Structures are given as C-alpha cells and as structure tokens.
C-alpha cells in the first residue's frame, strides 16, 4: 500500500500562502533620505523657474496693456492712458499696479476703463529709480500726483500716467534712452537698486510712436 507523504514547500520556493516580505525600517529610512535630498536639490531650480514664469507673465501683460491703450486711442479717437500706481506693499516700495483710463484734457479728469492689474499677485514689482528712469524725470501736472480714487487713495499711492493720443503720439517728454521701466521678482528687491538682478523684464516705450519694446536677459 502506497502512502502519500505531503511535501513541504522549499525555502527557496515559497508556497502560494506565504506572505511576501515588506520593506525593512532601514530601507524605509534610506528611501526617505534619498527623496528628501532630491527635493532639497530641486527646490531652488523650481522656485527660480516659477519666479521667471511670473516675471514673463507680468512683463507680457504690461506690453499687452500698452498696445491695447494705443489701439483704443486710435479706434475710439480719444486719449487713453495707463496709470502706474506707486505705493509700499509688504515693505516693498515701487509700482505695484496699473490701470487703463480714459483722459479728458479739457477737465483733466481720468475715468477707469478696466479693473487694476496688480503685480503683487505674481510676486513682481516695477522698481523705481535707476532701473526705471522714465518716471525719474520731471512730469507734467496731468501725468503725476496723488491718487484720488480708491483703493489707491486709501493706500496713499501716487501715480505716473502715460497718455496715448489718437494721432499716435504720447504724453512722454523724455529721451528714448531713458524711456524704459523694469520689472523684477520681489525676491530680488532691494532699496535703491542700481544694477539689474540676473532675471528682469525691461519695457521701453517710444515717446514719439508709443510702441513698446521688451528686453530679457
């Protein structure tokens, strides 16, 4: 009489019911350390890329608003302007917002045409001083002053205005070599910044034709 003796699974060939081995504590610690190191290495590059993208977006928006104001002045046959509002936000002094307006030379009245665009939403500021000499020279009374409408009046803001006329001219009375403005990331901001940081967006406005030109490093 044959007796069947069940065989035991080989140690090297576990049966179907064997529980697979999981990660050991040492392996988990090693994986976490590697992931942490990769994040630490990649974070500066990710932040730099994000800042660059925000700067590009803000500069492109400024170029679009300049072109739109010029086009509206031509098609609507009336002066159209851009008000650049300067105030302090998060301890950063500079131009933090712009707004398109219609301007009446007879009454010196400006009426907003669109909601303001805030650079601070993109962590960008249009700096004052040497990097934006267009507003550092003397301006006519209609082109600068204290903000008289909220929310900018409550912020104690001042404004500089660039007006585009139907004949294609502008209110700018500055040489072309100084008719430019510079946007930078708020991370690069310093008071009295005299040299541009590695990443910036400069816009030049031709005082005669009103056309904008952009410069990136």
pLDDT, tens digit, 9 for 90 and up, residues 11-70: 555 555 555 556 676 666 676 666 666 555 544 546 677 888 999 999 999 999 999 999
pLDDT value for 137:
64
User: How open is the CA angle 28-29-35, to the nearest 5 degrees?
Assistant: 90
With 0-12 / 13-18 / 19 or more C-beta atoms within 10 angstroms meaning exposed / middle / buried, residue 68 is: middle
DSSP secondary structure letter of residue 79: -
Would you say domain 25-215 falls under CATH 3.55.40.10?
A: yes
Whether the CB-CB separation of 55 and 200 falls below 8 Å is answered with: yes
How far is 61 from 129, CA to CA, in rounded Å?
A: 22
Computed from CA positions of residues 140, 145, 151, 157, in that sequence, does the dihedral angle turn out positive or negative? positive
Q: Which two tokens stand for residue 2?
A: 């044959």
Tell me the pTM: 0.78
3-class SS of residue 90 = coil
Each residue's pLDDT tens digit, 132-167: 999 876 555 557 889 998 999 999 999 999 999 999
Q: Which two tokens stand for residue 148?
A: 């008289």
Of 155, 150, 157, 171, nearest in space to 81 by CA = 171
Of 185, 184, 194, 133, nearest in space to 160 by CA = 133
Whether the CB-CB separation of 168 and 69 falls below 8 Å is answered with: no
Q: Which two tokens stand for residue 183?
A: 């946007």
């Amino acid at each position: 009489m044959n007796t069947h003796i069940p065989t035991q699974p080989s140690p090297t060939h576990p049966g179907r019911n064997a529980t697979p081995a999981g990660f050991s504590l040492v392996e988990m610690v090693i994986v976490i350390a590697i992931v942490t190191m990769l994040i630490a290495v990649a974070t500066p590059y990710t932040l730099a890329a994000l800042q660059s993208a925000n700067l590009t977006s803000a500069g492109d928006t400024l170029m679009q608003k300049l072109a739109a104001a010029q086009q509206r002045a031509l098609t609507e046959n009336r002066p159209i302007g851009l008000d650049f509002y300067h105030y302090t936000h998060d301890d950063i002094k500079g131009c933090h917002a712009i707004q398109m307006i219609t301007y009446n030379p007879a009454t010196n009245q400006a009426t907003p045409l669109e909601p303001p665009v805030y650079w601070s939403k993109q962590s960008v500021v249009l700096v004052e001083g040497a990097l934006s000499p267009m507003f550092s020279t003397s301006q006519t009374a209609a082109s600068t002053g204290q903000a008289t409408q909220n929310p900018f009046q409550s912020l104690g803001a001042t404004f500089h205005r660039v007006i585009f006329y139907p004949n294609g001219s502008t209110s700018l009375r500055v040489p072309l070599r100084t008719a430019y403005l510079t946007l930078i990331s708020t991370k690069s901001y310093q008071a009295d910044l005299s040299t541009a940081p590695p990443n910036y967006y400069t816009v030049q406005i031709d005082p005669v034709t009103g056309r904008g030109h952009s410069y990136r490093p």
